[in-house]
């Protein structure tokens, strides 16, 4: 038998194909800058994002965000009082429904039944085969839009006696989901109202000094990409039903016929009282009390900071809790839990103490979702876990449906035979259709497919510290481990939470392009091939693990798997489509995009061979700014490329991902760097850390007492 090397046209074609499609693993492609450089620099001013955060208490970033928020609120209140006006948010004017409801999209011609029509194509992050949890079922992020709100009114026009909090505190029974598909967010919000070791967790989102209900201005803080950020909104909200004069459908006809004997002005007043008054009139989320307002306002601020309401349609509950608390989420598939007893004793029994839990169901693709035989547990839906306890040998979970209705009807459900008078008294149980129900632990694991456990640092706010470092790395087509690891050093033995994250692309929906990334990592002792532990993907943003480590230095090797969906529009296509018709929206989302990617500073001083420059988005590694374009033209090929080869080169694999490693340590501070531990550049711990923290401890204690 003679074996020869193939010289056929097939092999030649394959060689040419791979040469044109794949860049060298040493090539780093800088993510594109959406806005022109001079506009970006003018808008960002002195607020340039940092890629490195030295070891500090987890509360430092929060305190900075709160102080900034309070200062902005004070300035707005003073101006409104001078002008004798309520606050109007020009940056998020709800009357501009296209701006506030819809993410950036492109239009394309599509042919249906031989005719042409225009359809919107979303350019949100591709989920490949994964889906997100929504209210109405499993929806790909390219799902068609739902119906829109009818009108906008201020809180004073909607509520008879509005109050942000009724009774001075939030309660899980207050929360009701609206027409937005954000059960993932609403269920996360519900988890924050049942805390035990960290009371008034909701209050940390909306500091008392960061709102003025008379002026109509409200400030909130959320956690994004390793730091706390603030957002401010006015008191305008969307309503489901239109104004009387604008109602031109059957509702107006029916109303006029049934109220024809009334004085026209009385009929108009009754219409407003019936359709446009109280919490039931709101289109999106609401409070159960007809005069309470904190739920719709937090939801509005969350939508604004992400760009629009469409951006918060669908998601993972664990990521919602992270956004609201700054915690770290680990995802569990119930079918994969090895020791269910340990998961109960070391996990669920600590809900509201060290952890917050969400859970969710999958889409069963049943033709009639109401005939699933799942005893009241909704298909493809997110739930909050409020309590877990043992009563007379029974392991029980208290669960909340964010709809505020539809409950479990199996064992230990409302009215079931298990509820003896003694049990009702012991568990303080009151029956009612509020969407809150008890169920056995065994049924809990059987009915729910995924559980998200979020470690909360607020219970020991000053003793948990975090160090983080962000950079841009190449993502090879093959999905191999990245050659350049992170590393960190801890001075004493401690519990360590390791989080590898990518940017939260929800903040710049429409400008995410065609690539999707999933993260994992291995933790090693330097020089050892076998890993200590692996960090698995938890949702779409992060890979995490929690482990007790001895003092020493450790390396974190990254594995980033990239996918490209060619059916989604490229960033440049979205910019070209929207730069005239939706200029303000493009500037807003483009700035969020460029600021986020600016965190990923490309490292230049690794003791490795020089990296080539990507032909897709050229960079010069010696240039200090990640936003500076190259000063020299690109080299031209020595030989012309045939047309077919040029076509193949158009869509070269040029994936790169901005990732950040965060190391949380208890009662000690880690130092963190990137590269091999023996030669990497270390991120030094701030020498005046103690002084920085000492000055904010008293303020933080005041925040807890609000």
Tell me the catalytic residues: 183, 381, 401
d(CA 401, CA 403) in angstroms, rounded, equals 5
d(CA 706, CA 700) in angstroms, rounded, equals 10
* 399 exposure class (CB count in 10 Å sphere: 0-12, 13-18, 19+): buried
Identify whether the C-beta of residue 359 lies closer than 8 Å to the C-beta of residue 365: no
Identify whether the C-beta of residue 696 lies closer than 8 Å to the C-beta of residue 228: no
d(CA 495, CA 10) in angstroms, rounded, equals 55
Identify whether the C-beta of residue 561 lies closer than 8 Å to the C-beta of residue 521: no
- Structure tokens of 627? 């936003």
Handedness of CA 122, 126, 128, 131 (dihedral sign): negative
- Structure tokens of 414? 């409302």
Identify whether the C-beta of residue 588 lies closer than 8 Å to the C-beta of residue 539: no
Q: To which residue do tokens 């960290």 refer?
A: 198
Contacts of 596 by beta carbon, 8 Å cutoff, 6+ apart: 49, 225, 503, 504, 507, 508, 658
d(CA 455, CA 401) in angstroms, rounded, equals 22
Identify whether the C-beta of residue 304 lies closer than 8 Å to the C-beta of residue 233: yes
Residues in the chain: 706
The CA-atom distances, in angstroms, between 114 and each of 111, 117, 118, 270, 630 are 6, 10, 13, 49, 47
d(CA 382, CA 362) in angstroms, rounded, equals 9
d(CA 111, CA 120) in angstroms, rounded, equals 13
- Intra-chain end-to-end CA distance of the chain, in Å: 84
Task: State the alpha helices, DSSP H only, in 261-391.
Answer: 264-275, 294-306, 317-325, 340-346
Distinct helix (H) and strand (E) counts, the chain = 18, 26
Identify whether the C-beta of residue 283 lies closer than 8 Å to the C-beta of residue 292: no
Beta bridge partners of 400: 384, 436
Cα 35 to its chain centre, rounded Å, is 23
**In terms of DSSP bridges, do strands 355-360 and 382-391 run parallel, antiparallel, or are they unpaired?**
antiparallel
The CA-atom distances, in angstroms, between 170 and each of 194, 206, 407, 633 are 9, 11, 22, 59
Beta bridge partners of 65: none
Contacts of 257 by beta carbon, 8 Å cutoff, 6+ apart: none
């Amino acid at each position: 038998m003679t074996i020869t090397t193939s010289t056929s046209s097939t092999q030649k074609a394959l060689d040419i194909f791979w040469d044109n499609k794949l860049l060298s693993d040493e090539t780093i492609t800088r993510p594109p800058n959406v806005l022109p450089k001079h506009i970006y620099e003018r808008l960002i001013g002195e607020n340039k994002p940092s890629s490195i955060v030295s070891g500090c208490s987890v509360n430092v970033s929060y305190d900075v965000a709160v102080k900034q928020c309070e200062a902005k609120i004070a300035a707005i209140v003073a101006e409104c009082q001078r002008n004798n006006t309520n606050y109007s948010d020009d940056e998020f004017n709800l009357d501009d429904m296209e701006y506030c409801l819809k993410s950036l999209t492109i239009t394309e011609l599509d042919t249906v039944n031989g005719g042409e029509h225009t359809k919107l194509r979303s350019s949100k992050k591709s989920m490949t085969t994964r889906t997100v949890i929504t209210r109405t079922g499993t929806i790909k992020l390219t799902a068609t839009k739902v119906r829109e709100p009818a009108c906008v009114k201020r809180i004073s026009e909607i509520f008879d006696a509005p109050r942000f909090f009724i009774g001075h505190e939030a309660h899980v029974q207050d929360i009701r989901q609206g027409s937005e598909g954000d059960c993932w967010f609403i269920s996360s919000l519900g988890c924050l109202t049942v805390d035990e070791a960290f009371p008034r967790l909701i209050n940390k989102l909306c500091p008392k000094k960061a709102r003025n209900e008379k002026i109509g201005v409200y400030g909130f803080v959320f956690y994004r990409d390793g730091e706390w950020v603030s957002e401010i909104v006015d008191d305008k909200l969307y309503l489901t039903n239109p104004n009387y004069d604008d109602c031109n459908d059957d509702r107006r006809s029916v109303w006029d016929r049934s109220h024809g004997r009334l004085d026209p002005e009385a009929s108009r007043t009754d219409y407003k009282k019936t359709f446009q008054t109280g919490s039931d009139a709101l289109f999106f989320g609401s409070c159960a009390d007809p005069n309470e307002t904190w739920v719709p306002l937090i939801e509005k601020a969350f939508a604004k900071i992400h760009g629009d309401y469409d951006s918060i349609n669908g998601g993972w509950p664990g990521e919602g809790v992270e956004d609201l608390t700054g915690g770290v989420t680990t995802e569990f598939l119930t079918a994969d839990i090895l020791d269910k007893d340990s998961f109960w004793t070391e996990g669920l029994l600590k809900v509201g103490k060290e952890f917050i839990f969400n859970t969710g169901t999958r889409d069963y693709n049943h033709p009639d979702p109401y005939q699933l035989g799942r005893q009241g547990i909704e298909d493809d839906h997110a739930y909050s876990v409020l309590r877990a306890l043992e009563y007379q040998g029974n392991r029980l979970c208290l669960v909340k449906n964010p709809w505020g209705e539809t409950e479990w009807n199996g064992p230990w459900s409302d009215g079931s035979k298990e509820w003896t008078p003694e049990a009702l008294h012991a568990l303080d149980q009151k029956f009612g259709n509020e969407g809150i129900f008890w169920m056995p632990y065994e049924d809990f694991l059987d009915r729910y497919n995924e559980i998200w456990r979020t470690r909360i640092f607020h219970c020991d706010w000053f003793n948990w510290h975090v160090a983080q470092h962000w950079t841009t790395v190449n993502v090879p087509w093959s999905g191999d481990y990245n050659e350049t690891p992170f590393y960190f050093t801890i001075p004493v033995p401690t519990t360590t939470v390791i989080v590898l994250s990518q940017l939260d692309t929800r903040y710049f929906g429409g400008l995410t392009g065609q690539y999707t990334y999933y993260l994992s990592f291995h933790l090693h002792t330097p020089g050892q091939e076998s890993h200590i532990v692996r960090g698995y993907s938890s949702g779409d943003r992060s890979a995490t693990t929690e482990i007790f480590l001895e003092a020493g230095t450790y390396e974190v090797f990254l594995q980033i798997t990239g996918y490209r969906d060619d059916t989604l529009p490229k960033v440049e296509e979205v910019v070209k489509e929207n730069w005239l018709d939706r200029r303000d929206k493009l500037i807003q989302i483009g700035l969020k995009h460029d600021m986020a990617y600016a965190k990923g500073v490309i490292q230049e001083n690794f003791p490795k061979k020089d990296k080539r420059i990507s032909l897709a988005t050229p960079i010069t590694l010696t240039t200090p700014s990640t936003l500076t374009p190259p000063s020299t033209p690109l080299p031209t090929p020595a030989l012309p490329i045939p047309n077919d080869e040029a076509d193949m080169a158009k869509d070269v694999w040029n994936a790169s991902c901005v990732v950040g490693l965060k190391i949380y340590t208890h009662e000690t501070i880690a130092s963190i760097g990137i590269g091999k531990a023996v030669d990497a550049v270390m991120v030094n711990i701030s020498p005046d850390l103690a002084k920085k923290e000492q000055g904010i401890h008293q303020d933080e204690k005041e925040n807890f007492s609000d």
